[in-house]
Amino acid sequence: MTAQIIDGKLVAGEIKAKVKERVEALKARGVTPGLAAVLVGDDPASATYVSSKAKACEQLGIYSEVIRKPATTAQSELVDIVRSLNANPKIHGILVQSPLPKQIDEMAVTLIIDPRKDVDGFHPHNVGLMLMGRGHLLPCTPHGIIKLMEYYKIDPSGKEVVVVGRSNIVGKPVAALLMQKAPMANATVTVAHSQSRNLAEIVRRADIVIAAIGRPRTITAEMIKPGAVVIDVGVNRVEESTSTKGYRLVGDVDFAGCFEKASYITPVPGGVGPMTIAMLMSNTVSAAEEFAQNRS
């Protein structure tokens, strides 16, 4: 058996086309959605993510600003920047790109963001609503994973889902979304992490495996059950001297091995990554729609 490849670029393209229509409808009402991204420091991967997000905004007619600050930026300055974006009527979505330099308390910054502009869905207000099944601004990567499954008619209802990784931005929220009593959810969810014993045994139970680990090829073919759905969130740079960049991107899953055994699999790149950006665009437009609604 070989797996069907889940084409994140294709699905993200369709989602972005719908977002573009919503942008046009908002513009007809006199509101141009706006997204501000704050980039602190010079992490090359973060710079790439921020420029991809700005490029997507441009494609869809969303106004965007990128605020670049040096790695030495003080917490107080970052807080002032976020406060001024909260007050800026041109901006409906704010994202502060992680990782942040060590002098900055990431949680404190998240708490300052106006929850109505929290398009990453990381503010405890939005996290709480998501847990209660009432989320409006859902975290982009987890929501993107669900949209991918929906597109390929992979219904998690009643299935065993194993999420490997328990970060606040991927592992925990994707587990929370999949356990909801709701369509495209209703799964039996297990969350594994670095302290889990017998990871292979846990993963082998899964009808759907979601890997959000940040370690290349942690999930191998021997660990998955035949016919499992494999969603690879990981983005890892591995050195490759033959590439012009000097590296190539790989996921957390041994793609070649799992491809032979899974029913569906996401590639890296081109799987979950494009969905994260598409859902960020969608959240920005949702925030602008809410703003337009409250204004009228």
- By beta-carbon proximity to ligand NDP, the closer residue of 31 and 233 is 233
Catalytic residue among 97, 147, 180, 207: 97
Annotated active-site residue 118? The verdict is no
Annotated active-site residue 97? The verdict is yes
Count the Cβ atoms, other than its own, within 10 Å of residue 61: 15
Residue ranges in contact with ligand NDP by CB under 6 A: 141, 164-167, 169-171, 192-196, 199, 212-215, 218, 233-236, 272-273, 276
Output the smallest distance, CB 177 to ligand NDP, in A.
Answer: 15
Residue type present at position 158:
G
- By beta-carbon proximity to ligand NDP, the closer residue of 31 and 224 is 224
- By beta-carbon proximity to ligand NDP, the closer residue of 97 and 276 is 276
Output the smallest distance, CB 58 to ligand NDP, in A.
Answer: 19
Catalytic residue among 117, 118, 120, 254: 120
Catalytic residue among 16, 53, 172, 261: 53
Annotated active-site residue 27? The verdict is no
Rounded CA separation 35/165 (Å): 29
- By beta-carbon proximity to ligand NDP, the closer residue of 131 and 292 is 131
> Which single residue brings its beta carbon nearest to ligand NDP?
167
Contact (Cβ atoms closer than 8 angstroms) between residue 265 and residue 152? no
Residue list, annotated binding site for NADP(+): 165-167, 235
Output the smallest distance, CB 184 to ligand NDP, in A.
Answer: 19
Output the smallest distance, CB 236 to ligand NDP, in A.
Answer: 5
* Residue with the two structure tokens 């590296």: 247
Active centre residues (catalytic): 53, 97, 120
